[in-house]
């Protein structure tokens, strides 16, 4: 169980889950995952929707039985020593799982009892959790009178009641306003720093992974495609920045891209992409059609064949340094740059590099 000075708390080997749908089709939601989570770290599983994050969490908490493979928590098998394994574990499910007509306190008390707490020990744990999630004043109010953010906090609180060594949090910030989200992220940091807990955190937002985790596993189509610290993963794509210039509906001459590549030092690639509006079949003859413009969300009228949302993407060793020169060349070539975005290498870039797709597609 020792790995250097690190102690393995969760050990996952060849974990697989295959669902059979009613229509006979088979879904391989998780295709064989190997993973070690060390005591005291925040490990995040980063992947797009449908990657298999929740299915993995469900197997690791004993809700779904694995089709193949095995996992151990603190040395206890989740399939054959489930009760022992479950004692070490707190879970914050993706969806809010609370009794809406019971008060916050009643919910906490009930689930505390499910972990064997009772009497003054239970009362003390509930009070502590209420303080931790900052809902002491509203403890007697029914859950269905709470805002979404408050429900999320209770949902988290239930997972912490029995002071587990290990907590799973499955996309706890989905559908939450920015303020509550910040609060949840701070909670995760506090769990690690103050309580020395081990956290398995899933998300489809690379910012969250990047901020919270000691290590990240990138999961796609049921497989871990990369695993390591944020720094290690970013090294995989090299140290390049990505510059994105929006040019709207303007045509971009190839000569511009060529000058970018040859005249500016440190540029490794420059490419242009735009979406061309094609009307729905049968509507080709309509002179004008309404379409939603992606970047702003505003509606506007476009013509068939019109070019929209043009973007020049440049990869550069030191993007910010190259920027003035690039803008000057664009100006010379008569291309108006509407906006510029400089992306330092991040997990998004890692995902793009590994899959050819953006995380948030």
Partner 1 sequence: MLRKIWAIAYVNLYQTFTDRNLIIIMIVTPLVLATIISLAFGNLGSGSAPIQNIPVAIVNLDEGASGFNGGQIMVEAFVPPDGEPGAPASQMPDCPETEAAASTAPAMSLTDLTDAVLLDDAAAARAGVDEGSYAAAVIIPADFSQKMSYSLADRQVEVSSIEVYGSSASPISASIIRSVVEGFANQLLTGFVAAQATIETIGQQFGLAGMGAAAANLSQAIACASGRTIVSIEQQTVEGEQADFNPLVLFGSAQAVFFALFTANATAATILEERRNGTLQRMVISPTPRVMILFGKLVGTFLIVLVQLIFLFIGFTVIGSLLEGQFQSIWGDNIIAIALMLVATTAGTAGVGMITAAVGKTAEQANIIGSIVSILMGILGGAFFAVNALGDFEFLTRLSVVRWGSEGFSKLAGGDANILTNVIFLAILGALFFGISLLMFNRRKDV
Considering the complex, what minimum distance in angstroms separates the CB of residue 359 from ligand ADP?
12
Q: By CB under 8 A, tell whether 114 contacts partner 1.
A: yes
Please choose which of ligand ADP, partner 1, Mg ion, none residue 89 contacts, taking the beta carbon within 5 to 8 angstroms, the exact cut-off set by kind: partner 1
Which is closer to partner 1, CB of 18 or CB of 306?
Answer: 18
Q: With the C-alpha atoms ordered 70, 76, 79, 85, is the resulting torsion angle positive or negative?
A: negative
Q: Which residues contact 148 (CB under 8 A, 6 or more apart)?
A: 175, 176, 177, 180
Q: By CB under 6 A, tell whether 65 contacts ligand ADP.
A: no
Cα 323 to its chain centre, rounded Å, is 30
Considering the complex, what minimum distance in angstroms separates the CB of residue 102 from ligand ADP?
27
- Based on the number of CB atoms within 10 Å of its own CB, is 140 exposed (0-12), middle (13-18) or buried (19 or more)? exposed
Q: By CB under 6 A, tell whether 49 contacts ligand ADP.
A: yes
Considering the complex, what minimum distance in angstroms separates the CB of residue 157 from partner 1?
12
Q: Which of 8, 27, 102, 291 binds partner 1 (CB under 8 A)?
A: 102
What's the rounded Cα separation, in Å, for the pair 67 and 153? Answer: 33
Q: Report DSSP letters for 144-164, one per residue.
A: GGS-HHHHHHHHHHHHHTT--
Please choose which of ligand ADP, partner 1, Mg ion, none residue 310 contacts, taking the beta carbon within 5 to 8 angstroms, the exact cut-off set by kind: none
Which residue has 């000075």 as its token pair?
5
Q: Describe the chain by its helix, strand, coil percentages, rounded to 5.
A: 35, 30, 35
Q: Which of 12, 91, 184, 188 binds partner 1 (CB under 8 A)?
A: 91
Q: By CB under 8 A, tell whether 304 contacts partner 1.
A: no
Q: Do 210 and 348 meet the contact criterion of CB atoms below 8 Å apart?
A: no
Q: Interface with partner 1 by CB under 8 A: which range of 97-105, 172-180, 195-203, 291-299? A: 97-105
Which is closer to partner 1, CB of 85 or CB of 349?
Answer: 85
């Amino acid at each position: 169980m020792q790995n250097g000075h690190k102690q393995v708390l969760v050990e996952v080997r060849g974990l697989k889950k295959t669902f059979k749908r009613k229509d006979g089709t088979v879904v391989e939601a998780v295709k064989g995952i190997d993973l070690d989570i060390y005591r005291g770290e925040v490990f995040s599983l980063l992947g797009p929707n449908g990657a298999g994050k929740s299915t993995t969490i469900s197997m690791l908490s004993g809700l779904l039985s694995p089709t193949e493979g095995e996992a151990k928590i603190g040395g206890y098998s989740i399939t054959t020593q489930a009760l022992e394994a479950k004692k070490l574990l707190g879970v914050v499910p993706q969806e809010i799982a609370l009794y809406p007509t019971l008060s916050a306190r009643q919910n906490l008390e009930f689930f505390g009892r499910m972990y064997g707490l009772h009497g003054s020990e239970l009362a003390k744990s509930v009070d502590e959790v209420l303080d931790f999630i900052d809902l002491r004043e509203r403890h007697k109010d029914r859950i269905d009178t709470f805002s979404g953010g408050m429900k999320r906090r209770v949902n988290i609180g239930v997972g912490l009641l029995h002071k587990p060594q290990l907590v799973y949090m499955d996309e706890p910030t989905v559908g939450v306003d920015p303020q509550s989200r910040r609060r949840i992220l701070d909670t995760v940091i506090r769990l690690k720093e103050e309580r020395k807990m081990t956290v398995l955190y899933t998300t489809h937002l690379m910012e969250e992974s990047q901020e919270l985790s000691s290590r990240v596993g990138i999961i796609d189509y049921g497989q871990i495609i990369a695993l390591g610290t944020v720094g290690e993963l970013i090294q995989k794509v090299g140290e390049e920045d990505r510059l994105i210039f929006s040019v709207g509906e303007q045509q971009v001459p190839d000569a511009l891209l060529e000058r970018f590549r040859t005249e500016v030092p440190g540029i490794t690639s420059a490419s242009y992409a735009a979406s061309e509006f094609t009307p729905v079949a049968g509507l080709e003859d309509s002179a004008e059609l309404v379409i939603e413009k992606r970047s702003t969300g505003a509606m506007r009228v476009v013509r068939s064949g019109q070019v929209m949302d043009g973007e020049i993407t440049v990869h550069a060793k030191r993007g910010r340094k190259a920027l003035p020169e690039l803008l000057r060349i664009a100006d010379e070539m008569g291309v108006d740059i509407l906006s510029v975005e400089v992306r330092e290498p991040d997990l998004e870039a890692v995902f793009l590099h590994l899959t050819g797709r953006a995380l948030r597609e």
